[in-house]
Amino acid sequence: MKTFGLDITSADIIDTLSFFDSWDDRYRYIIDLGKELPPMADAEHTDANLIRGCQSKVWLSSESREGRLYFNVDSDAFIVKGLLAIVMAAYNTKTPAEIRSFDIQGFFESIDLMRHLSPTRGSGLQAMVARIQSIAA
């Protein structure tokens, strides 16, 4: 299994999405990315790991190893799992300082993501980012 943040990076996502002409193809790719996320253990599907503000159910857990943050994520919606994969490509396996300094909004703009999400999906995505950035702080 590939590791998001190491084997699949934000630069990889930008490069791959640039190959697709239509957003239908991009959505299929994003959903496929979500299928590559490692499974989250049932024990981690807790209220403490639930991210508020998302239309779908989203869980996020984290652990720190050797100064780097490793995240485990899951959702009950395929497209949201894909969005989580995009966020993991940017943040997983990074140091807290790297997470805090990464321009996530610039990353989303470079792939034209926010314009193609419903307002509630966009808010949920921002809630995911906020939770990760608070962990990194």
Whether 42 has a pLDDT exceeding 90, the answer reads yes
Q: Above 90 in pLDDT, residue 54?
A: no
Q: Taking the C-alpha atoms of 104, 105, 108 and 111 in order, what is their torsion angle to the nearest 10 degrees?
A: -110
The residue annotated as part of the active site, out of 8, 54, 125, 129, is 54
Q: What is the tens place of the pLDDT at every residue in 59-99?
A: 999 999 999 999 999 999 999 999 999 999 999 999 999 99
Catalytic-residue membership of 54: yes
Q: How far apart are CA 20 and CA 130, in angstroms?
A: 29
pLDDT value, residue 19: 93
Does the global pTM surpass 0.85? Answer: yes
Distance CA 135, CA 96 (A): 8
All structural domains of the chain with their residue ranges? 10-136
Residue 112 CA, chain-centre distance (Å), reads 15
Q: Residue 52: pLDDT band by 50, 70, 90 thresholds?
A: confident
Statement: 10-136 belongs to CATH 3.30.450.70: no
The enclosing H or E element of 113 equals none
